[in-house]
Amino acid sequence: IITKLPQVGTTIFTVMSQLAVEHNAVNLGQGFPDFPMDGQLTDLVNKAMKNGYNQYAHMHGYLPLREKIAEKIQKLYNTSVSADSEITVTPGGTYALYTALTTVLVPGDEVIVFEPAYDSYVPAIELNGAKPVFISLKYPEYAVPWEEVRNKITSRTRMIMINTPHNPTGSVLSEEDMVQLQSVVEDTNIIIVSDEVYEHLIFDNIPHQSILRFPRLLERSFVCFSFGKTYHCTGWKMGYCVAPADITAEFRKVHQFNCFSANTPVQVALAEFLQYEEAYLSLGQFLQHKRDYFQQLMMQTPFKALPSYGSYFQCFSYAHLTDENDRLFAERLVKEAGVATIPVSAFYSNAEDNKVLRLCFAKKATTLESAAKRLSNFK
């Protein structure tokens, strides 16, 4: 049997969701909302289908949608990007990331990856014959150790991947981080892949430090987004990639032979729905309330909350409770407490275990209450 990914098993999200079903657990593991999405948006998809938008969309994405995205970027980040040559609509954020890596990487290239890292990054690097170079974010703040980044750059460093707001930790990059990143890549040909799928899920009035705000970074970047996160429809698998025209041209060469184009009626609906700015501008506040409510509920449990500034994840330390490793502990929690979580070691190449679990709070109040109650009864 041929295997290109000998180290890879089944993704932790599937493993934990499966266990949650088997044990009838409250699922705060895999990140997805359990409340309904906006009915107006689903109506728009229906309308698009009825109006005959059922054939292939343009390979680059439905043009009115790309135009709306460009307008939004102008408004939010004060950056002018071309709908024609710098935005490509993709079937999801993961696909955009994978395509970005595949566009650039050749065997022998090195890619700097900060850990914990979203679990699709490393396999995507390895499938392209490149080598991840790992740097641990400094626990418990999960800050980027910039000096170490400088030390790990070699002549083979081809890319740096960043992710803000960050999955799984909920940390966010500051303006100072972006300045550091800029100074690291200056005078190199390093390309940046920026995973910004949680751009609107950021709390406490902290501004999202998008690459799109920094022209000198944008000129060497792929910036990846997901509508699944923004509009509570993770099952739609719809996203986009913003990159300068020369980079986008290469990205599209790969994209056209992989899926060619993304779902048409959903793109038509999104093009219309993007005019309702409140829908994405209110998202941070909406989830901040959930974070605060969940943190308050979790005070009744022995788990210790780490800071969460963005994403829809809240990490908790249980180091003071047991020495058990986080995978075994998470499995025991599903079986014995009836709550599914994600062990954060799953996001490290060496399974670094700080005894931290990630819980998703994009859930109805009753779901959060039920999970906290189960955890407070757990011995």
**Which partner in ligand GLN, ligand PMP, none is near 30 (CB below 5 to 8 A by kind)?**
ligand GLN
Residue 195 interacts with ligand PMP (CB under 6 A): yes or no: yes
> What is the Cβ-side half-sphere exposure of residue 179, based on CA atoms within 13 angstroms?
3
Structure-derived torsion over alpha carbons of residues 251, 60, 181, 115, reported in degrees to the nearest 10: -80
93 binds, among ligand PMP, ligand GLN, none (CB under 5 to 8 A by kind): ligand PMP
Residue with tokens 């799953």: 346
Q: For residue 154, count CB atoms less than 10 angstroms from its CB and return exposed for 0-12, middle for 13-18, buried for 19 or more.
A: exposed
Sign of CA dihedral 167, 354, 16, 283: negative
Choose between 166 and 252: whose C-beta lies nearer to ligand PMP.
Answer: 166
Binding range to ligand PMP, per CB under 6 A, among 86-94, 129-137, 183-191, 349-357? 86-94
Smallest distance, ligand PMP to C-beta of residue 360, A: 10
Beta strands of 116-218 (E only): which ranges? 131-136, 157-163, 191-195
How many residues bind ligand PMP (CB under 6 A)? The answer is 14
Least Å distance, CB 235 to ligand PMP, is 9
Binds 228: which of ligand PMP, ligand GLN, none (CB < 5-8 Å by kind): ligand PMP
Kindly state the smallest distance separating residue 342's Cβ from ligand GLN, in Å.
7
The set of residues, in sequence order, having a beta carbon less than 8 Å from that of 112 and lying 6+ positions away, is 132, 133, 135, 149, 152, 153, 157, 159, 160, 161
- Give CA–CA dist 226/234, Å, rounded: 8
From the number of C-beta atoms within 10 Å of its C-beta (0-12, 13-18, 19+), residue 166 rates as buried
Residue 110 interacts with, from ligand PMP, ligand GLN, none (CB under 5-8 Å by kind) = none
Q: Which is closer to ligand GLN, CB of 214 or CB of 284?
A: 284
Choose which of 79, 94, 171, 248 interacts with ligand PMP (CB under 6 A).
Answer: 94
Q: Which is nearer to ligand PMP, 234 or 261 (CB)?
A: 234
Q: Which is nearer to ligand GLN, 39 or 235 (CB)?
A: 235
Instruction: Return the SS3 of 315.
Output: strand
| Core vs surface per residue 353-369: b (16+ CB within 10 A) or e | bbbbbbbbbbbeeebbe
| 3-class secondary-structure state, position 339 | strand
Question: Judged by CB, which is closer to ligand GLN: 228, or 338?
Answer: 228
170 is a site residue for ligand PMP (CB under 6 A): no
CA distance 162 to 62: 28
Binders of ligand PMP in range 100-119 (CB under 6 A): 118
Instruction: Please count the CA atoms within 13 angstroms of the CA of 208 that sit on its side-chain side.
Output: 27
3-state secondary structure (DSSP) of residue 201: coil
Q: Is the dihedral of CA 179, 181, 187, 191 positive or negative?
A: negative
Whose Cβ is closer to ligand GLN: residue 61's or residue 93's?
Answer: 93
Least separation in angstroms between residue 215's CB and ligand PMP is: 24
Give the one residue of 29, 61, 170, 239 binding ligand PMP; rule: CB under 6 A.
Answer: 239
* Residue 92 interacts with, from ligand GLN, ligand PMP, none (CB under 5-8 Å by kind): ligand PMP
Q: How far is the CB of 331 from ligand GLN (least distance, A)?
A: 17
Indicate the residue among 13 and 146 with the shorter CB distance to ligand PMP: 13
Retrieve residue 165's tokens: 């707001």
Of residues 253 through 282, those in contact with ligand PMP by CB under 6 A are none
Say which entry of ligand GLN, ligand PMP, none residue 184 contacts (CB below 5 to 8 A, set by partner kind). Answer: none
- DSSP letters spanning 222-250: EEEEEHHHHTT-GGG--EEEE--HHHHHH
Asked if residue 92 binds ligand PMP (CB under 6 A), the reply is yes
Residue 59 CB, shortest distance to ligand PMP, in Å, is: 19
Interaction residues for ligand PMP, span 196-235 (CB under 6 A): 197, 226, 228, 234
Residues that bind ligand PMP (CB under 6 A): 31, 92-94, 118, 163, 167, 195, 197, 226, 228, 234, 237, 239
